[in-house]
């Protein structure tokens, strides 16, 4: 058994919840704003809003990991929880809340690493790098949503 490590990030987006949810729901476009994600492929598209089963490929610093993720809880425009069902052990949740045209997105990502590697990740430098990268990703997500929302208002 390894060690589970968790990283949490947050952003406030100047767009309605509906727009934020719609952009997050487009899993195929996640590589546009998640720098370490090379691809997301839908395996099961039984649902109309988000697929229940997807295959993810992460590529960073010469490492490549694949895993399948299952959505374990979905409350439309409020919360998504997932966990891997093979490959890299991961789980996470994203929570959406809004106040008029300001939407807050809280993202938590947890993954299991072998104890020897986890020991280095727990130290401020490497663990901080992962948190900083997740924050940069969610900030790119914010920019994408705000740009699309602004363009929608202009049209």
Binned at pLDDT 50, 70 and 90, residue 100 comes out as confident
Closest CA to 43 of 29, 58, 56: 56
Q: Find the mean pLDDT for residues 86-103.
A: 91
37-75 pLDDT, tens digit per residue, is 999 988 865 554 555 888 889 888 788 888 899 999 999
12-31 pLDDT, tens digit per residue, is 999 999 999 999 988 888 99
Q: What is the pLDDT of residue 125?
A: 59
Binned at pLDDT 50, 70 and 90, residue 129 comes out as confident
DSSP the chain: --EEEEEEEEEEEES-HHHHHHHHH-GGGHHHH-TTEEEEEEEE--SSSS-SEEEEEEEETTEEEEEEEEEEEEETTTEEEEEEEEES-EEEEEEEEEETTEEEEEEEEEEEE-HHHHHHHHSHHHHHHHHHHHHHHHHHHHHHHHHHHHHHHH-
Cβ contacts of residue 129 below 8 Å, gap of 6+? none
CA 107/CA 93 separation, integer angstroms = 6
């Amino acid at each position: 058994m390894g060690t589970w490590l968790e990283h949490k990030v947050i952003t406030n987006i100047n767009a309605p919840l509906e727009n934020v949810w719609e952009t997050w729901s487009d899993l195929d476009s996640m590589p546009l704003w998640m720098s370490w994600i090379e691809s997301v492929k839908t395996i099961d598209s039984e649902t109309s809003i988000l697929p229940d089963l997807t295959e993810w490929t992460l590529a960073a610093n010469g490492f490549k990991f694949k895993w399948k993720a299952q959505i374990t809880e979905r409350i439309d425009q409020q919360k998504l929880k997932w966990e891997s069902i093979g490959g890299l052990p991961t789980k996470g949740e994203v929570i959406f809340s809004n106040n008029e045209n300001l939407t807050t997105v809280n993202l938590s990502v947890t993954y299991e690493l072998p104890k020897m590697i986890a020991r280095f990740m727990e130290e401020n430098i490497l663990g901080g790098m992962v948190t900083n990268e997740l924050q940069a990703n969610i900030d790119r997500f914010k920019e994408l949503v705000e740009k699309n929302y602004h363009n929608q208002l202009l049209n």
